[in-house]
């Protein structure tokens, strides 16, 4: 029998009485590093609901009214694969590139020596357009397509930067996917405050990950492929943008990374979770993660 170390994630959510009381939460996706093997809920019951554009399922949680809702995840440290639908283009306002962005991305790709170099060039061009931050107004807010960014720096979070990057890569004809999950900085000893996202490309059978935001947070603009340029650990929870949940009356939801409260009218509000990670070696002795 094959045994593997386990990464355990606990996400604890306080009740939100002002809303309809239900939570929408991701259940984890496989990656080349981990496989989701268990999902549990304490303080409520759950069923699965389908997302129609990507084929993902999410947990629809009904709190039991006794207090906090605690989500438990287990990921086996076994090599898997990113779900194939992660690379499939979807036409919605979070992925649709404006004509000028299409032209620019294709021009950058056309000047590269091959496809792999073209992907790296588009990644680094994107990095040159941003400074890391959490702006009050996002550069694509209220628009039906992702606009081209010219000279100067635009403030953006990991969500904003990767929205631009996905649109540029797909505009140039490359397979690219958007991953949401949690990143646990090494210095925080198994704790994190909110979700994180990164980009995955696939070209000629080669899958690479890119995390521009972490490079920028470290003061680096020479973006290299690979996870965790900033020391730490991560798990993947869901993928893609512009998600539809017909059963819930939700259309073109930007993303699901951490639990979301449903407002009963097709809208959502982020929960404020307490997120913790522990390593559970194959011998069964759990320990807090330290990166």
Q: What is the pLDDT of residues 189-217, one digit of tens each?
A: 999 989 999 999 999 999 999 999 999 99
User: How high is the pLDDT of residue 284?
Assistant: 62
Q: What percent of the chain has pLDDT over 70?
A: 95
Q: Where in the chain is the domain with CATH 2.60.40?
A: 6-84+256-288
Whether 174 shows a pLDDT value over 80: the answer reads yes
Whether 20 shows a pLDDT value over 70: the answer reads no
The conformational region for residue 286 under phi > 0 = left, psi -120 to 50 = alpha, else beta, is beta
Copy the structure tokens of residue 236: 């993947």
Whether 58 shows a pLDDT value over 90: the answer reads yes
Q: What percent of the chain has pLDDT over 90?
A: 86
Long-range contacts of 197-201 (CB under 8 A, 24+ apart): 197/158, 197/159, 197/162, 197/255, 197/257, 198/158, 198/162, 198/227, 198/234, 199/123, 199/162, 199/165, 199/166, 199/169, 200/82, 200/86, 200/87, 200/176, 201/119, 201/169, 201/174, 201/175, 201/176, 201/177
Q: Out of 3.30.70.1400, 3.40.605.10, 3.30.465.10, 3.10.620.30, select the CATH number for domain 86-236.
A: 3.10.620.30
* 3-state SS, one letter per residue, for 125-167: HHHCCEEECCCCCCCCCCCCCECCCCCCCEEECHHHHHHHHHH
Which residue, 155, 128, 123, 125, is CA-closest to 140? 155
Per residue in 226-251, pLDDT (tens digit) is: 998 889 999 999 999 999 999 999 99
CA pair distance 45, 92, nearest whole angstrom: 32
pTM above 0.75, yes or no: yes
Find out whether 257 and 266 touch, Cβ atoms under 8 Å.
Answer: no
- The span from the first CA to the last CA of the chain, in angstroms, equals 28
User: How high is the pLDDT of residue 1?
Assistant: 46
Which residue, 11, 18, 5, 8, is CA-closest to 257? 11
Whether 74 shows a pLDDT value over 70: the answer reads yes
Q: Where in the chain is the domain with CATH 3.10.620.30?
A: 86-236
Q: 265 falls in which pLDDT band (50, 70, 90)?
A: confident
CA-based torsion, 60, 63, 68, 70: positive or negative: negative
Find out whether 207 and 214 touch, Cβ atoms under 8 Å.
Answer: no
User: How high is the pLDDT of residue 280?
Assistant: 86
Q: 173 falls in which pLDDT band (50, 70, 90)?
A: very high
User: How high is the pLDDT of residue 47?
Assistant: 97
To 10 degrees, the CA torsion angle through 91, 26, 197, 195? 130
Find out whether 258 and 245 touch, Cβ atoms under 8 Å.
Answer: no
Q: Is 22 helix (H, G, I), strand (E, B) or coil?
A: coil
- 6-84+256-288 CATH fold: Immunoglobulin-like (2.60.40)
Mean pLDDT of 3-22: 85
Q: 287 falls in which pLDDT band (50, 70, 90)?
A: low
User: How high is the pLDDT of residue 5?
Assistant: 94
Per residue in 77-132, pLDDT (tens digit) is: 999 999 999 999 989 999 999 999 999 999 999 999 999 999 999 999 999 999 99
Which residue, 107, 122, 103, is CA-closest to 174? 122
CA 266 to chain centre: 21
Whether 68 shows a pLDDT value over 50: the answer reads yes
Mean pLDDT of 254-265: 92
């Amino acid at each position: 029998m094959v045994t593997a170390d386990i990464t355990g994630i606990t996400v604890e959510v306080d009740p939100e009485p002002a809303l309809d009381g239900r939570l929408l939460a991701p259940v984890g996706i496989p990656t080349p590093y981990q496989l989701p093997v268990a999902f549990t809920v304490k303080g409520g019951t759950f069923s699965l609901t389908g997302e129609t554009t990507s084929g993902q399922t999410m947990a629809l949680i009904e709190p039991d009214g006794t207090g906090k809702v605690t989500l438990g995840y287990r990921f086996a440290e076994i090599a898997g694969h990113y779900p194939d639908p992660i690379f499939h283009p979807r036409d919605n306002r979070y992925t649709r590139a404006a004509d000028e962005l299409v032209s620019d991305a294709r021009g950058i790709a056309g000047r590269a020596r091959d496809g792999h170099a073209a992907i790296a060039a588009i990644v680094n061009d994107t990095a040159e357009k941003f400074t890391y931050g959490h702006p009050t107004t996002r550069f694509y807010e209220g628009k039906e397509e992702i606009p081209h960014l010219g000279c100067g720096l635009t403030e953006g979070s990991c969500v904003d930067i990767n929205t631009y990057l996905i649109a540029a890569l797909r505009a140039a004809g490359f397979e690219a996917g958007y991953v949401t999950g949690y990143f646990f900085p090494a210095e925080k000893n198994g704790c994190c405050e909110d979700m994180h996202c990164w980009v995955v490309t696939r070209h000629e059978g080669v899958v690479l990950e890119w995390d521009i935001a972490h490079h920028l947070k470290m003061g680096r603009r020479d973006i290299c492929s690979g996870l965790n340029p900033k020391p730490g650990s991560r798990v993947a929870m869901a993928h893609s943008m512009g998600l539809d949940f017909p059963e819930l009356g939700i259309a073109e939801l930007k993303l699901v990374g951490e639990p979301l409260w449903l407002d009963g009218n097709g809208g959502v509000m982020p929960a404020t979770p307490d997120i913790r990670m522990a390593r559970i070696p194959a011998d069964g002795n759990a320990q807090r993660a330290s990166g």
